[in-house]
Structure 1
Amino acid sequence: MSGVHHLPWWKQVVIYQVYPRSFADANGDGIGDLPGLIAKLDYLKALGVGALWLSPVYPSPMCDAGYDICDYMDIDPLFGNLADLDLLISEAHKRGLKLLMDFVPNHTSDQHPWFIESRASRANSRRDWYIWRDQPNNWRASIDGGSAWSWDEVSQQYYLHFFLPQQPDLNWHNPRVVEAMHQVLRFWLDRGVDGFRIDVVHCIGKDPTFADDPRCLAGETMVRINDQPYSHEVLRGLRRLVDHYPDDRVLIGEVNIRSTAQVAAYYGASDELHMSFNFPPLDAPWDPVVFRLCIREVKGCFPSHSAWPTWALSNHDNSRLRSRYGGSLRRTHAAAVLLLTLRGTPFIFQGDELALEDTQVTAQTRVDPGGRDGSRAPLPWKINAPHGWPGKTPWLPFPPDVSTLAVEAQEAIAESTLGLYRCLLSCRRESEALSIGEWEELPSHPQLLAYRRHSHSDERIICINFDQVEHAFPLAGQWITQISSDRQSEKELFKGTVAAEQAVILRRRENHHEQ
């Protein structure tokens, strides 16, 4: 593509979320690991993604799937060691893939040496590395929905935790905490990591008055409503640090506030986050009105090229998109076209390229205290059991239709979901319009969502039919169906109709030899 070399890499790629525990197991213990991921890098390269976001692999008691960290500068033996991580960075870079780590700044594990010292006594030098009070307020924690305060019998005070009691919140008003966490970022950046996805970054700042919040009386948790000015000051410090490194290192924030305008504020004046996740599409039902409003809102809140949007339809905390869309393969395929043709950086959650559904979890197989195991099931590589997971039974049951949806099965079928994703990613890479072009909504039937992507002379038109019946979509001029979500009529002249729950990418007919 011409004219895009000056843009940072993170504006031009599709990012793939790797949930390491469920990706690929190299040592046969039933848990995915870094050597397993290294062995599958060629699969990810062939898929066409440009960067990998690695969910936490740090040492942890695993009360919250590794988001309770007891050492920020090491690798949990479950996943390997630092040498494996260094090899992963090297092998990814050899293939032109960037690697992002998950940075969890709001809280540590209660087994972290910092907290062990902090709770030892009120006089301990690390006491104010965390947040302690004599009396709790009404703030509510996420995951279990209970009080955000827990009593510590040893030091006779309450400590704050926006998540589980095993995840005490750090006090970012303490300069020593700031410096310690900056050192964590330097440690990984110096090893060659290309950036970070920052967990619940908006939670870092806390209301300094510690006043009761009336919204908590209605059952809201602080993770959904906490939005304090001090978080922006912290982010500006992180951004200054990262910007001192070469090669466009990136900060991507999880701002788990269901307001696009509030999320946009975390970009600052191009001096805070480079990108932030926008959550309304993750909540959206299969409805053109809802998606149309989501996209319009992003366009309104991110008007300049300095505030670059992101798009995600699944992640490790949410039900898989196919499960949310009623198990429909047609909707899942149409949603893939939508995700990969919007203006911004798309994120694919591992397994969505296989159309996986949530696994069925019972009381006996449940692991996550928040009930989020469904989307975290092991990725099936082989048709036959044990589906590429030799050794111990994997830590969670496989998703439904595991043999049919396995990578091995889908690689043999061009019309499979995997085949569709590979075509979409190739199309996006080769089209300046789709990768970095402008977005313009087009008039259409209410059950259609249609838009134009354009950059210089490159142009594509995308139309998604959310209805269960065919609808007309008349266009001036002659257009070729470059990709269709149901793989029908591709490379043929577009006849002006979009089939039920079908999505199409159209390009102008270039010469009379095309159909």
Structure 2
Amino acid sequence: MPPEPPVGGEWWRSAVVYQIWPRSFSDSDGDGIGDLPGIADRLDHLAGLGVDVLWLSPVYPSPQDDAGYDISDYRDIEPVFGTLADFDALLAAVHERGMRLVIDLVVNHTSDEHPWFAESRSSRDNPKRDWYWWRDEAPNDWRSFFSGPAWERDETTGEYYLHLFSRKQPDLNWENPQVRAAVYEMMRWWLDCGVDGFRMDVINMISKDLASGEFLCGPRIHEFLQEMHCEVFASRPGTFLTVGEMPGVSVEQARLFTDPARAEVDMVFQFEHVRLDQGATKWDLRPLDLRDLKASLGRWQTGLADAGWNSLYWNNHDQPRAVSRFGSDAPEHRVASAKLLATVLHLQRGTPYVYQGEELGMTNTAFESIADFRDIESLRHYAEAVAGGAESETVLAALRVMGRDNARTPVQWDASEHAGFTTGTPWIPVNPNHREINAADQWADPASVLHHYRALIALRHPDSECHEPAVVHGDFTMLLPDDPTVYAFSRRHRDDERGDVELLVLANFSAEPVTAAVPQADAWDGAELLLGNLPDAPAAPATAPLRAWEARVLRRVTR
């Protein structure tokens, strides 16, 4: 069983979550696709890293139109990933190592091959007709996130159904109480199986107002989430993690969603900071201005300081690799920038999320042509853009930078032919740089990206020799907001035994040396260098120039 939660129940405040995208994590049977036994085989890697929670992306039965986010059965396992017995064995092994397991909850939509939709589309008077959104004509001009109209005419009855994503992902109608009851029953079933919570896919889209055109944080979203908490979690207080993925959510809305007194979700995934290098669409590339990044993340730190809680992430299955995006994947800077990004993220207030391979500093991969891509979003965008007259190479250039397949290449376990991911042919090619970037080499290298992540994670854990309560409990102050190169902030915490503990984080987001104009820098004379990402720390760490992609964390204690 997982460890008992601390007094107060909010154990996740000092936790670190690791996201597993099963198809690309580890393959146990040589078919080229990752699976549940493969994950079980790698649990010692995760336990050694020090993470507390594993978030498992969808492993339900699915036609795989959208890589498993099109679910055809909520209470079973996709055969390519294994069986329910394999899931039970994995869950037991996770708990034996003192970790928890959170699974994806995808209930804005199902697959069009789910039995619910098969009944719904069969006739206009079927009892499940109103489980989905059907109209005689498209009532608005909503567009699918995967290109094209969001309303699809179905030949069986001649009516249109709503799909905000793929046409094979019809949206559930949460206005129908029978839909909500069926979802809650399914959630309770998984909790009874022993899972420790849910990451809720696009959960702020479940309330829709067709007349006003609102489908993000619609009029009944708080009502639905509070009802979910009452029906599913209220009898099990203080033991589960609920994370709501919420595109377009504002700080003000997030305060409501994550306020414990409202009993909705523990934290949200927001997307503001990962859209700063984009124009009108994700394919419209823009250079990132570090000042914008600091303003965005700083606003979330301040906005949730006295109510709610932040999730902290650079990467996930939908985002390109952070080292290539926010750092530098040039060979001479990759390791330092990967450590820098980890330092800046993990030292902020909130729960950090590590996406598989991030702890190794994995990078974007090389795509020569559209034939190398697998993701539905990229393939449909390419087809639509080229059909509309765009130059093929221009479209490909954007896909290479922002395409979701960058995050979905196999985890690089060692330097062998397929990086130790599979003995067969991987479903998508392994990044060629796995010979330089892999777990086996990094476990053996104390100066690796992997060991830097281990050090950062250990700072959060009360049972660690290097535990620093200020990382979890300290307040947050952004420094140098107008500096275009240096990311700087402080954390302060009152410790009854030690006094006032303050951390200073300095990070140079460039390949050139810079000097940070730290306010009251003299006060940091004699401060301890708690952590750094480069060897040979300077004698005056608060005022000495920061080298290329250097990050330093200083600690001072005053009584």
Amino acid of the structure 2 residue aligned with 1:478: G
Counting only pairs closer than 5 Å after superposition, residues 16-415 of structure 1 correspond to structure 2 as 16-207=18-209, 210-211=210-211, 213=213, 226-240=216-230, 241-257=232-248, 259-267=250-258, 269-284=261-276, 287-304=289-306, 306-325=307-326, 326-328=328-330, 329=334, 330-361=336-367, 362-371=369-378, 372-415=404-447
Relative to structure 1, the CA distance from residue 174 to residue 508 in structure 2 (aligned partners, 3 Å threshold; closer, same or farther) is same
Deviates further, 428-437 or 123-132: 428-437
The offset of 1:189, in angstroms, is 0.4
Give the SS at the match of 1:377. Answer: coil
Whether the 8 Å CA contact 2:101–2:197 is kept in 1: the answer is: yes
Within the candidate set 424, 428, 449, 1:417 is matched to 449
Q: Secondary structure at the match of 1:428?
A: coil
> Gapped runs of 5+ residues in structure 1?
214-221, 511-515
Q: What amino acid does structure 2 have at the position aligned with 1:456?
A: R
Q: Does 1:441 align with 2:478?
A: yes
> Residues 243 and 249 of structure 1 are in contact (CA less than 8 Å); yes or no, is this contact kept in structure 2?
no
Q: What is the distance in 1 between the residues matched to 2:61 and 2:178?
A: 22
Shift of the alpha carbon at 1:7? Answer: 5.0
- Aligned partner of 2:400 in structure 1 is none
CA contact (8 A) 1:410 1:419 kept: yes
Distance in 1 between residues matched to 2:227 and 2:309, nearest whole Å: 20
Counterpart secondary structure, 1:339? helix
Structure 2 SS opposite 1:16: strand
SS in 1 for 2:376: coil
Deviation, 1:247, is: 4.6
Letter of the aligned partner of 2:267 in structure 1? Answer: M
Per-residue deviation, residues 278-306 of structure 1 (Å, max 9, x unmatched): 212223455431232123311332132x4
What is the SS of the residue equivalent to 1:401?
A: helix
1:121-162, Cα deviation, whole Å (9 max, x unpaired): 011111111110001033333342211100011111000111
2:460 to 399, 403, 428: 428
**Residue equivalent to 1:218:** none
Cα 1:128–1:399, aligned 2, differ >3 Å: closer, same or farther?
Answer: same
Contact 2:442–2:449 under 8 Å retained in 1: yes
- 2:513 paired with 1:469: yes
Q: Sequence identity of aligned pairs in percent? A: 38
- In structure 2, distance between residues paired with 1:195 and 1:140: 32
Distance apart, 1:443 and its partner CA: 5.2
SS in 2 for 1:229: coil
Deviates more, 1:366-375 or 1:287-296: 287-296
Query: 1:147 and 1:449 mapped to 2: Cα distance?
Result: 41
Partner of 2:387: none
Aligned to 1:496: 543
| 3-state SS, counterpart of residue 471 of structure 2 | helix
Q: How far apart are residue 253 of structure 1 and its match?
A: 0.3
**Distance apart, 1:276 and its partner CA:** 0.2
Q: CA deviation at 1:94?
A: 1.3
Aligned in 2, Cα 1:4/1:433: closer, same or farther, shift over 3 Å?
farther
Structure 2: 5+ residue stretches without partners: 278-287, 379-403, 462-466, 496-500
After the TM superposition, which of the residue ranges 121-130 and 264-273 deviates more from structure 2? 264-273
Deviation at 1:5, TM superposition (A): 4.7
TM-score, reference length from structure 2: 0.84
In the alignment, residue 337 of structure 1 is paired with which amino acid?
T
**Over residues 358-379 of structure 1, what are the superposed CA-to-partner deviations in whole Å (9 max), with x where a residue is unaligned?**
2234433322111221211100
Q: What RMSD, in angstroms, separates the aligned Cα atoms of the two structures?
A: 2.2
Structure-2 residue corresponding to 1:454: 492
Aligned residues: 494
Q: CA deviation at 1:501?
A: 2.2
Per the alignment, in what secondary structure is the counterpart of residue 381 of structure 1?
A: coil
User: Is the 8 Å Cα contact of residues 252 and 275 (structure 1) preserved in structure 2?
Assistant: yes
CA separation in 1, counterparts of 2:338 and 2:526?
28
Deviation readout 1:475-509 (Å, 9 max, x if unpaired): 4141122211224429x763622323211111238
Moved over 6 A (4+): none
